Structure 1
Amino acid sequence: MSDTTRNLRLPSFNDFSPGILGKDIRRPLRIVADAQGDRDVAVKRFASEFFSGNANKRSITNVPVTLINTGLVDSGTFLLTDFGLDVVNASSPLLAAREFVKRMILDRNGILLIEAIRTLYYRREVGSRKALLKRELENLGVEGLSNATTDHTTLENWMMEAGVVVQDGQYRRPDDDVLRDLIGADSDDLSAILAMEPGPRLFLEILRRCAETAGHREYIPLKPVYSECLRRARAWFDEDQLRKNVVDPLLAAGWIEAPAAKSGKGGSARASDRLLRMPLDKILPHMFGAIPGDLRGKLTLPLPEVRNLLYDKDSKNNRGIGLELLALRMLLALALEPRGFRQRARDTSFAEVDLLAEGRDLLFSRWVVQCKNLKESSKVQLSEVAKEVGIAIHQKAHVVVVVTTTDFTSEARKYADEITRETHLQFLLVPGDIVRGYLSGGEARLLEFVMNNAAHVMAMKRGQLDGAIHWSQVGGSNVDGENVPEGDGEGADGPEDT
């Protein structure tokens, strides 16, 4: 399903079937809302309304665990989460079930249950529903389904209450019209993505990301897309057959559109409506799930407009948005995947943002990133760079990036070089002139600076390698510095260690 390993499980659904809850998922949520965080009060009402007044494991444990496991109720406060509030405030049992099922599909591996139901329908298989679904889900990599569990069948029943799955004679199938309205893709779309080879899937992921930044209807030059595919996973591609093996099949399947077919590595393409509707961030390991919704719509802003926001003297809010967009756009330009904000601009009086990012260029790397919008008379100090070292160690990161609209003090630069020479960490300190060049001239200025920085880091870290080589050459000394014979006391003709 993806090129990274994920632990695939379905939520617990013990004693949470539509039959027990009277086909209205809002009923237990209203009880939780009325209890105002008092779990004991809620449990008594669960027993009264759903289990004939019996206070047993079903009411005391199973229903609360399911509410928490599905994300409807907070485990610490036993209050409704935002998701729980969305469900309980739905105007009908049908709409509440659809809100609930949508989240299960997108965030709780319900996509795999849709695929299992679709597979059984096309095979026209009949028999024990529980056993058939269990087999298909295990084939898709879902774990933890014991022979006794009904988690998968209960979720399927809620999908039927939502109209996402319907009875078709003696079979069940996804209702693609409802599914498309609910998540933007039908069961055929989901199945095609899940079954796709990793090379074309990576191509779509990169092209979709480019569409998010360049504009959905803009044609994207394919050469840099090819280059990033080869950098990240060369073994997945035949470099001389990229158009034949990747682009042409995706065009034929309607995932991408091109103005005209071209041979070789030239040409351009854009994401089709089918690809743009697909909840790709929920299916593939993808960076967009980490980007707040209020910023995603602004990722297509031209860089000069980002610059205008960043340097808007009359609006702190605009400067904060500009700083966040600067950070995100620079990470995307470097083919990194944002993993989330540690601090957003509004949390720091619109003066700085902090992010985590990850890269998969040949090898995995984790980056801690800080962007600072300073007054022209200010520079980034040593103490501010040192703080990022502590954060990087805590986050098990490999690279520290500090971006500023001004410059760094000489002490800050010397400190970064010292840490680079003496530890596994490396620094990318991006000063204001590079920021302005990037915002005015595009990615070329930034990429050139980063490549030059990589050469600088490599030169400093060669001293570490020299030390390691020297240590290995004198590795026959003991802890006191005295030479140890090559044998182990057996003499020159004694047995060798294996």
Structure 2
Amino acid sequence: MVVRKSDLPFGSEFSPSQIELAPVLELADEYGGDWRAFEKAVRETYFEGYNTSDSNKAKLANNTKLSMIAYGIIDRDANLTEFGRKLYEMRHNEEQLYVAMARHILLNLHGMNLIQCVKDIQAAGETVTLIKLRAWLDERGIHFPRGGKHPSIMRLWLEKAGILQPDSWDVNETRLQEVLGTSIKEFDILSIFTAEQRAYLKALTNIEGGTHLSNEIAKLATATYGVAFDEKNLPKQVLYPLQRAGYIKLERGTKSPGRGAKPFYVTITERFKADILGPLLEQIDTQVRSELRPLLRKSLDQILDELSAKETHIRGLALEALAFKLMHLIDLEYVGTRLRGSETGGAEVDLIFEGARLVYSRWQVQCKNTARVSLDDIAKEVGLTHFLKTNVIVIVTTGEIGTKARQYANKIMTDSNLCIVTIDGNDLAQIRSKPVAIVDVLNREARHAMTLKTLEI
């Protein structure tokens, strides 16, 4: 069995409630290069008084060393890394020391992903726990082992810098801005960017300031990150959105006789901070469907409003967010996306969810931002059930379900074990005003299916 590596840093026996950062840095400076001597010194300094066996004391000291490696402070031989040396030089200034540690966690150890996840859980009205964090982070593609306390140790270090309130997961956003020079809102903006837009920004972080030709930056992004750009639509799909967000300024090149317009000249703005943007974009790229996260924090009412946005990209994201929001209301787990809104101009999305309450079920969810769902729309979903091994199809539309589509759905439910749930614009209006109304809608659909499937015994 392959053991998945944790994305969050191991932190056992390295919490600020157990270890004083400045003294342990001094131990690393003194014994660096001899990890056994370092472990012995850590054991004698912090764990010798523990009421446990010598082997356990040695294990505790070893955990401290492994944690400091995971946090990027020392290497395998207990030598201070470049970051560790930076901390060591700050060891006599406690506030500066904790700020540097927190900044490192936020930028380089998935700290901002963790903070964003915490905000999402709180926005959903739920209590932040390790179990909840593990599930929500895992849904984002960010893993830490079952039973691990990795987020708790990170929380304690962030608390030391004043970013998290004492003994809680409440974020001091003003302090976060002071320490990092950016905010959760900024992280959300970066998250919403497309893969092409993020790759373009990352390419800009890799070059010196000044002015550059837009197509040359696109070539660099393609070579570095493997992202293909539509050169003809580069301004519309990448440059204009980044300019509106305030990261770049554009100056149109002059038009040569007999040739098309030259590429734009691109200049970064004061808002563009390469040392912050680069690591944040790397964190976002590790997430699954990162661009959905800020939308999921919005209310259902706001998401439905986004379905009327001018930008097809935003409409597509809103449609996916709608599917997530509805399925999360009934506590189903996201499995994957088969068809994304960006591929359909914001017209439809297909997602897969699963549930394991009492019995296992797999839900095939299609959301359509169109006036009518046709028979062909439902037939296409039915045709996929064998391949996807689903037993529930959910059709959600902002418009109406056509008569022939309903008749076809009834026929399929009568003749098979499939359940087809239809949620139309009127249902969405009810759910918008009262989210728990989704239970009434699903109960209605369940009773309808039971009637169709009545056994003649």
TM-score between both structures, scaled by the size of structure 1:
0.46
Greater C-alpha Rg: 1
TM-score between both structures, scaled by the size of structure 2:
0.50
